Amino acid sequence: MIMNSESHTKLIQLKELWKTYFTGDIPLHALRGINLSIDKGEFIAIMGVSGSGKSTLMNILGCLDKSSKGQYLFMDIDTTFQSNMELAWLRRKNFGFVFQSYNLLSRTTAYENVELPLLYASKYKKNKRKEIVLNALDKVGLRDKIKSLPNQLSGGQQQRVAIARAIINNPFVIFADEPTGNLDTRTSFEIMSIFQKLNEQGTTIILVTHENDIADFTKRKIVFRDGKIISDVENMNQRNAEEEYKKLPVEEEPA
Amino acid sequence: MNFYNLIISSFKALRKNKFRTFLTMLGIIIGVASVIVMLSIGKGTEKDINSRMAGLGTNLIMISPSATKTQGVSSIAGSQQTLKIKDIEIIKKYSTSIKAISPVIRATEQLKYGANNWRSSIMGVSAEYLSIRDLSLVSGAPFSDEYVKTSAKVCYIGKTIETKLFTNGEDPIGKVIRIGSIPFKIIGVLKSKGQSGFGQDQDDIVIAPYTSVQNRITGSEYLQQIYASAKSEQTVTSAVNEITYCLRISHNLSKDADDDFEINTQSEIMETAASISSAITLLLAGIAAISLLVGGIGIMNIMFVSVTERTKEIGIRLAIGATAFDVLKQFLIEAVVLTITAGFIGIIVGILASKLVASIAGIQTIITSTSIIVSFIVCSLIGIFFGWYPARKAARLNPIEALRYE
């Protein structure tokens, strides 16, 4: 998926994108003609109430779902007519996913969870894989937990394993669907500081949230309502998650 | 994901549900083990029958009169009386492929010794009969032509006769028993041959010179059968041709007349026995194969349960870069790993079980490498066949719906 594109090529372009579900008698329009373009290196918060279409948009952007109408160009590739196989290849090379409920494989160690995308996407030998996996776990500060199973880790630790898994193939974009939804403030800030660092290193991050505090750590806020974008503004005063984290009062350990 | 990693991850997945995996495999284990045991019993029986057949004698040729036809209806074979001593003399004179030849005259008579009596069959034969049938003596002297010439009242008895008549452990040699009302002196006891391939007691027999049986018991000049042995296995066919030629001349048969005798050779009988035993083997293996099929259906059932249960896992794998084909491969290989592992255990269980059958039931069992290789291949095929449909179901899952599945 190496592109011979100029630097000003848009990473993602949506043109009049519709998504309609035909579940009952009345067709449900989850997205109503979305136009959106996203550049490399952006850090975007997609906000909105439940049912506003933000998750649907995420699924389509992540090529987990297809639009009903309109165009989705990823690095100038029109994904509309790609086969499921081509979309799977596109996903494994370019995208990383982080979910609200972590979605780690149960009864599988942190190491194995992080290694999994490598097994699908690469032909690296065991030693090379180990080096990459440990490097990714280093970035999220969990090198000492490689042998732990998901149920032995806290929510924040599980989410950090999920982030390590998402970055293992050096994706262009990380899609994070309410990554802090199940976490307390301290841990949320920790996770956001990891995202900010990844973004500084050039990874595009698209994050769905309905918490304004979390959106404040991003660079651009897009608000959805009823399948349409109602506001799309640059966040002029992005907060620094690491600094905020340090400002939080240290919790007393119960004796 | 490469093949090695797929197998490793299959083993990991199967280990997560140890007890269920074991129960699923049990069907295949029992199926494979029973196929191996059944085939080994079948093979053992076949070999057993063959060795009993070989016990009939070496390169044996049996000549019987053919069935009589009364108004076109055939009667039982041997019911015609066409064979005479003259036939034997002609065969002896002209045949070059024959090593030994003997008439066989049968009679059934009551045997008496002291207070004991026993009904048995008497065979009148020539001195060559013992070598034709591979019979040997436990005690006593071999037959001489002199006895035949003089219609001597002498006989050999089989082990069964000895135990029935000489109940107090006397040595039967030299004793006189009555066959019907005629006294015969016992000059030898035959070495036990056990049951024949057809379940007859081959030791329940009295053998006497044919002249004695003809002149003193039956009073008929006709022979029931003629037994001959060829010089070697290779000369059996030419011996049969020579005998046919001699008998047709001896019986004055015109060119287009049917033979009034039948010739059977040992190899023909062995072929028949072999076809019977292979039919039995096939039947046993068929029954075992059905249990293997049932085991395979069990695998399919569990793979379906597993796909449903692991819907979320499939969704995660699809999201992080697995293609539908990767998922298909994963579940297919899991099914194959399951059946091959079960097959491997089944083979070991089958080998142990057939050893056990051999030692407990006293049946000979032979495990052939073919049965092991075939069960192994069948197991892999079962895995692919019954794993395919569940695996396809897994591969066709929609990633988003799979991720939402709880």
For residue B79, tell me if it sits in a domain. no
Please check the confidence at residue A93 and state whether its pLDDT lies above 80: yes
Query: What is the predicted pLDDT for the residue at B71?
Result: 64
The angle subtended at Cα A246 by Cα A242 and Cα A252, nearest 5°, is 135
pLDDT in tens, A171-183: 999 999 999 998 9
**pLDDT grade for B196, boundaries at 50, 70 and 90:** low
The angle subtended at Cα A164 by Cα B12 and Cα B320, nearest 5°, is 60
For residue B215, tell me if it sits in a domain. yes
Residues B127 and B206 placed together within one structural domain of the fold: yes
Structure tokens at A202: 């050039």
Structure tokens at A160: 């950090």
| Per-residue b or e along B273-296, where b marks 16 or more CB atoms closer than 10 Å to that residue's CB | beeebeeebeebbeebbebbbebb
Query: What is the predicted pLDDT for the residue at A50?
Result: 86
Token look-up 């769905």 returns A208
For residue B34, tell me if it sits in a domain. yes
The DSSP call for residue B218 is I
| Poorest-pLDDT segment among A109-123, B218-232, B238-252, B258-272 | B258-272
**pLDDT grade for B250, boundaries at 50, 70 and 90:** confident
Residues B125 and B222 placed together within one structural domain of the fold: yes
pLDDT in tens, A200-244: 999 999 999 989 999 999 999 999 999 999 999 999 989 999 888
Contact B328, B1 (CB under 8 A): no
- % residues pLDDT > 90 (chain B): 25
Give me the DSSP letters along B36-64. HHHHHHHHHHHHHHHHHHHTT-SSEEEEE
Provide the shortest C-alpha distance from residue A246 to chain B (in Å).
33
Within 13 Å and on the Cβ side, how many CA atoms surround B184? 30
Residues B140 and B217 placed together within one structural domain of the fold: yes
pLDDT in tens, A29-61: 999 999 999 999 999 999 998 888 898 999 999
Asked whether the beta carbons of residue B323 and residue A85 sit closer than 8 angstroms, the reply is yes
For residue B336, tell me if it sits in a domain. yes
CA distances from B302 to A42, B57, B88, B335 (A): 47, 57, 73, 9
Residues B215 and B143 placed together within one structural domain of the fold: yes
**pLDDT grade for A5, boundaries at 50, 70 and 90:** very low
Say whether B5 sits in a helix, a strand or coil.
helix
| Poorest-pLDDT segment among A105-119, A130-144, B48-62 | B48-62
Contact A1, A169 (CB under 8 A): no
Residues in B 7-46 with any Cβ partner in A closer than 8 A: 12, 16
For residue B400, the chain A residues in CB contact (below 8 A) are 59, 64-65
Instruction: Please give the tally of structural domains in chain B.
Output: 2
Please check the confidence at residue B57 and state whether its pLDDT lies above 70: no
Give me the DSSP letters along A7-29. TT--SEEEEEEEEEE-SSSS-EE
Residues B220 and B112 placed together within one structural domain of the fold: yes
What phi, psi does B162 have (nearest 5°)?
-55, -45
pLDDT in tens, A8-30: 568 999 999 999 988 888 888 99
The candidate with the shortest Cα–Cα distance to B250, out of B102, B100, B89, is: B89
Provide the shortest C-alpha distance from residue A96 to chain B (in Å).
7
Chain A residue nearest residue B16, CA to CA: A107
Q: Tell me which of B334 and A5 has the higher pLDDT.
A: B334
Which of B16, B323, B403 comes nearest A103 by C-beta? B403
Region of A11 (left: φ > 0; alpha: ψ -120 to 50; beta: rest) is alpha
Query: What value does the mean pLDDT take over residues B301-312?
Result: 91
Give me the DSSP letters along A137-204. HHHTT-GGGTT--GGGS-HHHHHHHHHHHHHTT--SEEEEESTTTTS-HHHHHHHHHHHHHHHHTT-E
Taking 3-state DSSP, the helix, strand and coil percentages for chain A, each rounded to the nearest 5, stand at 35, 25, 40
Contact B342, B401 (CB under 8 A): no
For residue A56, the chain B residues in CB contact (below 8 A) are none
Query: What is the predicted pLDDT for the residue at A130?
Result: 94
For residue A119, the chain B residues in CB contact (below 8 A) are 1-2, 5
Residues B119 and B221 placed together within one structural domain of the fold: yes
Chain B residue nearest residue A107, CA to CA: B16
The DSSP call for residue B195 is B
Asked whether the beta carbons of residue A120 and residue B1 sit closer than 8 angstroms, the reply is yes
Query: What is the predicted pLDDT for the residue at A215?
Result: 94
Structure tokens at A185: 């403030």
Please check the confidence at residue A7 and state whether its pLDDT lies above 60: no
Provide the shortest C-alpha distance from residue A194 to chain B (in Å).
20
The DSSP call for residue B235 is G
Residues B116 and B206 placed together within one structural domain of the fold: yes
Q: Tell me which of A49 and B51 has the higher pLDDT.
A: A49
In whole numbers, what is the pLDDT of chain B averaged over residues?
A: 86
Query: What is the predicted pLDDT for the residue at A221?
Result: 95
Give me the DSSP letters along B327-392. HHHHHHHHHHHHHHHHHHHHHHHHHHHHHHHHHHH-------HHHHHHHHHHHHHHHHHHHHHHHH
- The continuous run of DSSP H or E covering A80 comes out as none
| Per-residue b or e along B80-115, where b marks 16 or more CB atoms closer than 10 Å to that residue's CB | bebbbbebbebbeeebebbbbbbbbbebebebbbee
Contact B86, B99 (CB under 8 A): no
| Residue B399 touches partner A, C-beta closer than 8 Å | yes
Residues B276 and B219 placed together within one structural domain of the fold: no
For residue B192, tell me if it sits in a domain. yes
Query: What value does the mean pLDDT take over residues B81-109?
Result: 88
The candidate with the shortest Cα–Cα distance to A176, out of A142, A199, A153, is: A199
Query: What is the predicted pLDDT for the residue at A137?
Result: 94
Distance CA A110, CA A190 (A): 19
Residues B109 and B205 placed together within one structural domain of the fold: yes
Asked whether the beta carbons of residue A97 and residue B400 sit closer than 8 angstroms, the reply is no
Please check the confidence at residue B388 and state whether its pLDDT lies above 90: yes
Residues B189 and B278 placed together within one structural domain of the fold: no
**End residue of a domain, out of B170, B201, B226:** B226
Type of residue at B99: K
Asked whether the beta carbons of residue B399 and residue A121 sit closer than 8 angstroms, the reply is no
Please check the confidence at residue B2 and state whether its pLDDT lies above 70: yes
The counts of H helices and E strands in chain A are 8, 10
In whole numbers, what is the pLDDT of chain A averaged over residues?
A: 90
Distance CA A43, CA A200 (A): 9
**pLDDT grade for A1, boundaries at 50, 70 and 90:** very low
Say whether A165 sits in a helix, a strand or coil.
helix
Chain B residue nearest residue A108, CA to CA: B12
Query: What is the predicted pLDDT for the residue at B198?
Result: 60
Q: ipTM of the assembly?
A: 0.89
Please check the confidence at residue B75 and state whether its pLDDT lies above 70: no
For residue B238, tell me if it sits in a domain. no
The angle subtended at Cα B403 by Cα B397 and Cα B406, nearest 5°, is 105
Query: What is the predicted pLDDT for the residue at B339?
Result: 92
Indicate if the alpha-carbon torsion angle A61, A62, A63, A65 is positive or negative.
negative
CA distances from A131 to A109, A114, A124 (A): 16, 12, 10
**pLDDT grade for A253, boundaries at 50, 70 and 90:** low
- The continuous run of DSSP H or E covering B277 comes out as helix B266-309
Distance CA B191, CA B168 (A): 20
For residue B87, tell me if it sits in a domain. no
| Residue B201 touches partner A, C-beta closer than 8 Å | no
Please check the confidence at residue B52 and state whether its pLDDT lies above 80: no
Among chain A, residues having any CB pair with chain B shorter than 8 Å are 59, 62, 64-65, 84-85, 88-89, 91-92, 96-97, 99, 103-108, 116-117, 119-121, 123, 165-166, 169
For residue A105, the chain B residues in CB contact (below 8 A) are 313, 316
Please check the confidence at residue B72 and state whether its pLDDT lies above 70: no
Interface test with A, best of B5, B15, B320, B406 (most A CBs within 10 A): B320
Contact A193, A245 (CB under 8 A): yes
**pLDDT grade for B276, boundaries at 50, 70 and 90:** confident
Token look-up 């086969």 returns A83
- % residues pLDDT > 90 (chain A): 67
The candidate with the shortest Cα–Cα distance to B277, out of B362, B357, B197, is: B197
For residue B42, tell me if it sits in a domain. yes
Query: What value does the mean pLDDT take over residues B278-290?
Result: 83
Please check the confidence at residue B319 and state whether its pLDDT lies above 80: yes
User: What is the residue range of B127's domain?
Assistant: 100-226
Residues B281 and B367 placed together within one structural domain of the fold: yes
Provide the shortest C-alpha distance from residue A119 to chain B (in Å).
5
Burial of A201 (0-12, 13-18, 19+ CB in 10 A): exposed
Type of residue at B116: N
